[in-house]
Amino acid sequence: MDNNSSIHFDISERKVLLRIFDIASVLGLLYLVGQIFNFDYFKINSEHWMWSIVLALYLTVFGTIFELYNLQKASKFEIVVQNIILTSSVTVLIYLLTPFFTPTLPVNRLQIVYFYISVNIALFIWRYAYIVLISAPRFFKRVLLIGNASDIDAIVNSLQKSDPNYKVVGFVNTSSEKYIPKHFKDFEEFSVKGIEKIVHKNSISEIVVATPQSSGMTVSLYNKLISMLESGVAIREYTQVYEEITHRVPVQHVDKDFYRYFPFSRSNQNKLYLFFHRILDLLFSAIGLVFGLVLFPIILVGNLFANRGPLFYSQIRVGRNGKHFKIYKLRSMVTDAEKHGAQFASAGDTRVTKFGRFLRKSRFDEIPQFINVIKGDMSVIGPRPERPIFVKNLSEAIPFYEIRHLVKPGVTGWAQVNAKYGASEEDALEKLQYDLYYIKHRSLFLDISIVIKTLSTIIFYRGQ
């Protein structure tokens, strides 16, 4: 039998683990420092319990903003170091500036330095331990894939790209077509015979079935899977695994069986949720427009020298239920950008001016859209609205594309904080997968997550 460990942590478990131990390590070291040294700025006791709760809250929020809980980045120490410094710096600064909930500033200002250093050291030690131990191959989830040869590479790529701890050990080919490896050559092809021994020998913790019952799911294979399920082996359907790991709905794999994804989130019809969603839309829009007014002199000067031409521009977009509306933006392209007709913007687009690139990277070009939000054409959060010509073409090429119009389009959204810029039909498909995931799982928690991820996009200057 293989000596590989069968212990593994799912995505949600690792994120919870990171948050719990971030807080525990910081509070633990601060308590130790308080016991060993004459450190009285931060105390952990029953009298000052609020101090610890506020610090834990700040650490979690800013850790999320600065991507400490992005699993792809949490396993790379050079990136983790940068994110820890950003998180601890902002956390300590805000903590010092809120003395109503936190300790008053100490007479000996050197204690603030001790406090800051302690937070950093605690996070560095724990995160290094996480990378060496939890992110190590011994804790990978070892998976056996059952599917058609033509789909294997695409399936393996989508799963392992989204979760670095997800290891496809091998596959069972359910089609008559021979498998020709293109990108992955480090996993084996197994036969249906002796599949129980394969699972045991390779310490398989999960079997993912990616073949439809009408294509390759024989009675023999079905019975073997039932037998292994009864013996405790987890068996899951590919589209469910894909959605859980990537946070996208795999529309390209559901064929015509769309009703399996109904009902969408109850929040789409929940009057209380929609009421508070609208209140937050108006609140965020007011804040956004005030912020835009503060930046207006800088934008005006930048436009004058490096973006000559009109400051604003408008365009017809498709909104909720297919209704057309006029969207407002700060102009970021040359004035004759579409002299050859409508086309997708792309990364490094030569039509974007120098100042326009800054507006796009910082997302400042989106500020006028808060006017659309106040008018009710858009929401702060939702699928990005596309132009009618693009909607027509994409609806003909991509299944279920029109479903993204069930909710109001947004200034930002789940696709905007996760996907790359939509410069092709493939990019549009990826964005649709994220949009449908949002519509399906729409909730206050997901909305908050999108707002926080949007802040990360702005801070790390990743707008396009």
Question: So where are the chain's domains?
Answer: 11-134, 140-246, 266-459
Average pLDDT across the chain, whole number: 85
Per the model's pLDDT, the better-predicted residue between 185 and 380 turns out to be 380
Alpha-carbon distance 284 to 450, whole Å? 13
Residue 3 scores a pLDDT above 50 = no
pLDDT of residue 342: 66
Average pLDDT over residues 141-157: 85
Question: What is the pTM (predicted TM-score) of this model?
Answer: 0.81
Residues 290, 291, 294, 299: what is their CA dihedral angle, to the nearest 10 degrees? -120
| pLDDT bucket at 320, cuts 50 / 70 / 90 | very high
Residue 262 scores a pLDDT above 60 = no
Residue 129 scores a pLDDT above 90 = yes
pLDDT of residue 5: 47
Residue 59 scores a pLDDT above 60 = yes
The mean-pLDDT minimum among 97-101, 128-132, 181-185, 405-409 falls in: 181-185
Peptide bond into 399 cis (omega under 30): no
| pLDDT bucket at 4, cuts 50 / 70 / 90 | very low
| pLDDT bucket at 352, cuts 50 / 70 / 90 | confident
pLDDT of residue 257: 58
Residue 443 CB coordination number (10 Å): 14
Fold annotation for 140-246: Rossmann fold (3.40.50)
Query: Strands (DSSP E) along 27-152, which ranges?
Result: 141-147
Alpha-carbon distance 180 to 268, whole Å? 44
pLDDT of residue 8: 66
* Token digits of residue 24: 């525990």
pLDDT of residue 141: 83
pLDDT of residue 195: 85
Alpha-carbon distance 148 to 216, whole Å? 8
Task: Judge whether 200 and 3 are in contact, CB under 8 Å.
Answer: no
